[in-house]
Amino acid sequence: MASIEEIAKAAKAAAAEALHVALEARVERSMGSDGEEVIRVMLVVPDGTMNEVSGEQIVATLLAVKRGVRDLGDDRPTVVSYATPGELADDGNSES
């Protein structure tokens, strides 16, 4: 089983290559709906990036990140999501 740091490094490299942008990869362990441990990878991309990439690039990125985790010898399911710094800031400032 790969460490969170190893997974983050692999995810960041795979996503940066597929999207051609510098980004951050945030990784955490979580439980799936079936109670199985999953790896959640959030790719933090610059604002506006998702408007400039094709659907093919998005799919290629998802596959590259999942492949990168598998190549580390980690067979846990990998869930990939995207966010921008602006979206993360909005989440932190929202009131319940």
Q: Record the pTM.
A: 0.86
Q: Tell me the per-residue pLDDT of 36-57, one tens digit each, with 9 for 90 and over.
A: 999 999 999 988 888 888 889 9
> Tokens standing for 42?
């959030």
Indicate the pLDDT class of residue 96, thresholds 50, 70 and 90: very low
| pLDDT higher than 70, residue 5 | yes
Distance CA 35, CA 17 (A): 32
pLDDT for position 93: 59
How many other CB atoms are found less than 10 A from the CB of residue 4? 12
pLDDT for position 88: 86
Per-domain residue ranges for the chain?
4-85
Side-chain-side CA neighbours of residue 19 (13 Å): 29
24-31: long-range contacts (C-beta < 8 A, 24 or more apart)? 25/65, 28/4, 29/4, 30/79
Beta carbons of 23 and 12 less than 8 angstroms apart: yes
Q: Tell me the per-residue pLDDT of 54-95, one tens digit each, with 9 for 90 and over.
A: 889 999 999 999 999 999 999 999 999 999 998 888 876 555
CATH architecture of 4-85: 2-Layer Sandwich (3.30)
